[in-house]
């Protein structure tokens, strides 16, 4: 397990200015967001996002993933049955109609319109450009099936959830996690689980508001590096 | 994640009585142990073992697995690529030669001889009888691939490891966990991970002696039951 990046804190429900009737479109800058299945061509973006996450968590010394190691290990099985990545994209304009992503037989992209008070200044727009010049990759979530012996059925384990800095505090972390939860319900899976650092009180509050329990008593045990390798020689 | 049952504490290296030369066979009762891949016909035993684990952990209120739910979700994918179960069997006599398990193309069983001071009295011998009348199922481990984005490669997550009470304190928990670690090394996987209850100091010491790190800062977050179901309605 790597670190699950703390998501942005929840976005407060915007209160429309009093001059705007409640049923009109809120004033502001709409930001179209889309959650879609990732594929092999997304690996360069995924690799950059994981690196940003390692920087954010001050764990770059643990970061050794390469584009080739990701390509070799992701996308070799059907989605949801093994390691699966959702990409979060945003655009100031509606997403293209008849996008090839819309006809993915495994997953229909989820589009939501977020209202942003100010237009987002994205200093890395060029690096994260996606389907067309308006669309940029803003984050990702990587998850895979786990198995509860007590329930006797699978769930999803969310390894990482990450939103780029300039897109935080807009509810996009919740958009990503909700997409995983929705898929779990659709597949009749019993649980969605992930981990959080105990000092990250903002993230813990956010997760609790999403309905999650935080299990205080369990500790993660990890066998890795030389301590793992010795078992290879153990005949 | 269900609960990973605390394994038996490590067996101290037996000190041979001074009358026995160091190179002779230790006096005692040999117990032949075998770790092999489970298959569909093992489901009734696996179900009983999970139930015993729930009793041991006083978590029977969380236990809802049935033989059918296990059958529906296990063994549908090749082992090691999805949910995988190793069965631990023991016998006072050597395991049958040319057992069908020996020709499993995915895994060659690991046999070890454990020296037991006294013969084991197994009150559930009839319930857990396996390949022949000498062989009984003594425990299991259920594990599946996880994925480290930082390493860019898979590992194994051990959901449950369990040894029946009368076979504890003989090093059999280590036999099971070592078999998973050995398989991880063979597949060039980067980590083996599991969880432990923070008050279970015997288990924590045992895991540390096996080379594991205990990660103190991470907490598990779980979305389940009604809190999960609401996301299915969230359009």
**Model confidence pLDDT, tens digit, residues B33-56:** 999 999 999 999 999 999 999 998
CB contact under 8 A, B213 and A224: yes
Least confident of A218-227, B5-14, B63-72, B130-139: B5-14
What pLDDT shows up at residue B213?
97
Residue to test with chain A: of B142, B147, B185, most A Cβ within 10 A: B147
What pLDDT shows up at residue A27?
62
Q: Which residues of B touch A2 (CB under 8 A)?
A: 148-151
User: pTM to 2 decimals?
Assistant: 0.86
| Residue ranges in chain B assigned as alpha helix (H) | 43-56, 67-73, 172-186, 201-209, 225-229
Exposure pattern of B129-142 as b/e (b: 16+ CB <10 Å)? Answer: ebbeebbbbbbbbb
Active site residue B207: yes
Determine the average pLDDT of the residues in A17-36: 66
CB contact under 8 A, A182 and B216: no
What pLDDT shows up at residue B131?
76
Closest by Cβ to A70, choosing from B152, B193, B204: B152
What pLDDT shows up at residue B24?
45
CB-based contact A217:B198 (threshold 8 Å): yes
A vs B: CB pairs below 8 A: 269
Q: Which residues of B touch A38 (CB under 8 A)?
A: none
**Model confidence pLDDT, tens digit, residues A47-90:** 999 999 999 888 899 899 999 999 999 998 899 999 999 999 99
Q: Which residues of A touch B214 (CB under 8 A)?
A: 219-221
Shortest distance, CA A37 to any CA of chain B (angstroms) = 17
Counting beta carbons within 10 angstroms of the beta carbon of residue B231, is it exposed (0 to 12), middle (13 to 18) or buried (19 or more)?
buried
Interface predicted TM-score of the whole assembly (ipTM), two decimals: 0.85
Distance CA A231, CA B153 (A): 19
Shortest distance, CA B153 to any CA of chain A (angstroms) = 6
Residue of A nearest to B221 (CA): A214
Residue to test with chain A: of B220, B226, B235, most A Cβ within 10 A: B220
Distance CA A214, CA A222 (A): 20
pLDDT of B17 above 50: no
pLDDT of A32 above 90: yes
Nearest alpha-carbon partner for B210 in B184, B192, B198, B186? B192
For residue A82, CA distances in Å to A156, A179, A218 come to 10, 17, 25
What pLDDT shows up at residue A15?
40
CB-based contact A162:A78 (threshold 8 Å): no
What pLDDT shows up at residue B1?
41
Determine the average pLDDT of the residues in B167-190: 96
Nearest alpha-carbon partner for B100 in B89, B92, B111, B108? B108
Label residue B135 by pLDDT band (50, 70, 90).
Answer: very high
Q: Which residues of B touch A181 (CB under 8 A)?
A: 223, 228, 231-232, 234
What pLDDT shows up at residue B25?
52
CB contact under 8 A, A146 and B152: no
pLDDT of A18 above 60: no
pLDDT of A3 above 80: no
pLDDT of B30 above 70: yes
CB contact under 8 A, B159 and A148: yes
Structure tokens at B197: 């209850």
pLDDT of A19 above 50: no
Shortest distance, CA A164 to any CA of chain B (angstroms) = 16
Label residue A184 by pLDDT band (50, 70, 90).
Answer: very high
Least confident of A161-175, B15-29, B85-99: B15-29
What pLDDT shows up at residue B139?
98
Determine the average pLDDT of the residues in B176-182: 97
Structure tokens at A118: 């100010």
Q: Which of A157, A167, A189, A207 is catalytic?
A: A207
pLDDT of B26 above 60: no
Q: DSSP label at B8? A: P
For residue A103, CA distances in Å to A19, A111, A195 come to 42, 14, 33
Q: Which residues of A touch B223 (CB under 8 A)?
A: 181, 191-193, 210-213
Report phi then psi at B232, rounded to 5. -70, -25
pLDDT of B57 above 70: yes
The enclosing H or E element of B32 equals strand B29-37
Label residue A21 by pLDDT band (50, 70, 90).
Answer: very low
Q: Which residues of B touch A1 (CB under 8 A)?
A: 146, 148, 155, 157, 191, 193
Share of chain A above pLDDT 70, in %: 88
Average pLDDT, chain A: 88
Determine the average pLDDT of the residues in B69-98: 93
**Model confidence pLDDT, tens digit, residues A102-145:** 888 999 999 999 988 888 999 999 999 997 889 999 999 999 99
Distance CA B79, CA B152 (A): 21
Shortest distance, CA B125 to any CA of chain A (angstroms) = 23
Q: Helix or strand or coil: residue B124?
A: coil
For residue B195, CA distances in Å to A23, A86, A163, B87 come to 50, 26, 27, 20
What pLDDT shows up at residue B119?
87
Q: Which residues of B touch A227 (CB under 8 A)?
A: 210-213
CB contact under 8 A, A191 and B228: yes
What pLDDT shows up at residue A234?
57
Closest by Cβ to A147, choosing from B144, B192, B228: B144
What pLDDT shows up at residue B97?
86
What pLDDT shows up at residue B118?
84
Determine the average pLDDT of the residues in A178-201: 96
CB-based contact A91:A32 (threshold 8 Å): yes
Share of chain A above pLDDT 90, in %: 73
CB-based contact A20:A106 (threshold 8 Å): no
What pLDDT shows up at residue A102?
86
Query: Can you give A46-72 as a three-state secondary structure string?
Result: HHHHHHHHHHHCCCHHHCCCCHHHHHH
Shortest distance, CA B134 to any CA of chain A (angstroms) = 25
- Strands (DSSP E) contained in A38-134 are 84-91, 110-116
pLDDT of B224 above 60: yes
CB contact under 8 A, A142 and B147: yes
């Amino acid at each position: 397990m790597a670190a699950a990046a703390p998501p942005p804190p929840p976005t407060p429900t915007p209160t429309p200015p009093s001059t705007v009737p409640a049923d009109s479109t809120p004033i502001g800058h709409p930001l179209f967001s889309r959650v879609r299945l990732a594929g092999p061509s997304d690996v360069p973006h995924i690799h950059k996002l994981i690196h940003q996450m390692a920087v954010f968590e001050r764990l770059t010394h643990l970061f050794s993933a390469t584009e080739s190691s990701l390509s070799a290990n992701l996308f070799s099985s059907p989605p949801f049955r093994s390691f699966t990545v959702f990409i979060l994209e945003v655009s100031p304009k509606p997403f293209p109609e008849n996008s090839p992503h819309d006809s993915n037989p495994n997953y229909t992209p989820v589009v939501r319109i977020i209202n942003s008070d100010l237009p987002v200044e994205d200093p890395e727009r060029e690096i994260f450009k996606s389907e067309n010049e308006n669309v940029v990759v803003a984050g990702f979530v990587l998850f895979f099936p786990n198995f509860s012996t007590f329930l006797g059925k699978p769930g999803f384990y969310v390894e990482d959830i990450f939103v780029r800095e300039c897109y935080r505090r807009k509810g996009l972390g919740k958009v990503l996690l909700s997409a995983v939860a929705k898929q779990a319900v659709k597949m009749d899976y019993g649980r969605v689980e992930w981990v959080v650092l105990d000092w990250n009180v903002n993230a813990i509050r956010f997760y609790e508001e999403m309905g999650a329990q935080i299990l205080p008593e369990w500790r993660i045990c990890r066998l890795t590096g030389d301590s793992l390798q010795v078992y290879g020689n153990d005949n």
